[in-house]
Structure 1
Amino acid sequence: MMTFARGAAFAALLIAGLTAGLASDPAAAQSTSPFGGFKHDRTQPIEIAADSLEVRESQNIAIFKGGVVAGQGTLKLTADELEVHYGDGGAGTGQIRLLEARGDVFLSNQEETAAGDVAEYDVAAGAIRMTGGVTLTQGGNVVKGAALSIDLNTGEGRVDGGGGRVKSVFTPAPKDPPKAAD
């Protein structure tokens, strides 16, 4: 199991000796937060496109199938299927509670990407849970595990090994090139 908090990845990189050049740059420390790019504005509308849509009004569920593309602000999700659970009052109320994506799930936002087999997005809580061979990528940094949980409000997240190990590769930032003499 591997747990990250905002800036904790920076500390891990520093301890590993991979980013000694970043030690005096707080802005660089912030940019290495492995989940900070998933933080976003949850008040934005959620847009969904797919090959087909089935609505089960009695269950408050809408099922999108085939080449699903969903987005909320800069947060984008693609999957084979997306089940949307909405509040009482019908699908027209805009009260989406939960999104469940299945099959080749890919989540991206400005700085990070995450891929897995299944993802759940609890809209009210601002929380995402992804399972099934999860790979999280930020620039040249990669974290792999069985499950990924992200709090979109804080940018904090956690990767679990699911009985196995969490595997990570951290790539140091390039150093500034030497300045030419005048």
Structure 2
Amino acid sequence: MFIRENRSRMKSKKSCKEWISILVLSIVILGPVNGYATVTHFGIDGLNGKEPIEIHADSLEIRYKEGIAIFNGNVSVMQNERLLRTSKLVIYYNKAHLTDDINQLRTKSVFPGKIGSTDIKKIEALGEVYIKIATQTATGDKAIFDGQLSMIILTGNNVVLTDGNNVAKGCTLTANVKTGKASLEGCKISGKKNRVSIILESSSKNGR
């Protein structure tokens, strides 16, 4: 009896980790994945498909010398069903491609280049970050999409990942989109890490 219970717990922990990895990479990349095995095939340029990516904001500031574009106020990035909302969006460009990309931003308000390509090095979403694709959402205070390191980091006092009735809560979400590895860490309280909270809907409710 003990062996069966122990195996059941191990299986449950494994399924939780797999679910988090799938959810993390599918939400934060803003592109769906169909299974755990396909996660490693996703690149950080998941924002870039055939459909145009539109950016809307209250203001746009260009800093040519620094090679960055800053969108301020009610920022939204949309591509088909995919949505990213934040208070501030900072795009770090390769300076050699900055002029053409900025001209495209000014005239068309569409997203030029690919994250991690020769055009865009990194993107930072700052303040009230909300990411949605289909039934999956992720929220936090700050998101970093680093194309050069192929890393995605979502942080905040309450990072929440949801997929239907499945919910995971923590404070630091880290994902390597090349290896498919993702981790969710709890918040630090009085110098100690708090536990991660995960709620998984019973498979019997889904008819499985």
Do they superpose with TM above 0.5? yes
Aligned to 2:12: 15
CA contact (8 A) 2:171 2:185 kept: yes
Match of 2:134 among 110, 115, 127: 110
SS at match of 2:145: strand
Q: How does 1:65-144 map to 2 (within 5 A)?
A: 65-71=72-78, 75-89=82-96, 90-93=98-101, 94=113, 95-132=119-156, 133-144=158-169
Match of 2:184 among 154, 159, 170: 159
Change beyond 3 A, Cα 1:70–1:125: farther
Aligned to 1:21: none
Aligned to 2:37: none
User: How far 1:154 moved relative to its partner?
Assistant: 5.8
Judging by fraction of residues, say which structure has more helix. 2
Change beyond 3 A, Cα 1:149–1:55: same
Change beyond 3 A, Cα 1:116–1:151: same
User: How far 1:108 moved relative to its partner?
Assistant: 1.9
Q: How much is the aligned-residue C-alpha RMSD, in angstroms?
A: 3.3
Aligned to 2:65: 58
Percentage of identical aligned residues: 32
| Matches of 1:128 and 1:135, distance apart in 2 | 15
Amino acid at match of 2:58: D
Change beyond 3 A, Cα 1:130–1:176: closer
User: How far 1:155 moved relative to its partner?
Assistant: 5.0
| Matches of 1:81 and 1:51, distance apart in 2 | 10
Flag structure 1 segments of 5+ consecutive residues without an equivalent: 1-10, 19-28, 178-182
| Matches of 2:180 and 2:80, distance apart in 1 | 15
| Matches of 1:151 and 1:74, distance apart in 2 | 23
Amino acid at match of 1:83: V
CA contact (8 A) 1:60 1:91 kept: no
Deviation track 1:117-146 (CA, whole Å, cap 9, x = no partner) reads: 111111344432110120011111111101
Q: How does 1:28-43 map to 2 (within 5 A)?
A: 33-35=22-24, 37-38=26-27, 40=31, 42=45, 43=48
TM-score, length-normalised on structure 1? 0.70
CA contact (8 A) 1:81 1:103 kept: yes
Amino acid at match of 2:100: G
- Paired residues, what number? 157
Moved more, 164-173 or 122-131: 122-131
Moved more, 71-80 or 117-126: 71-80
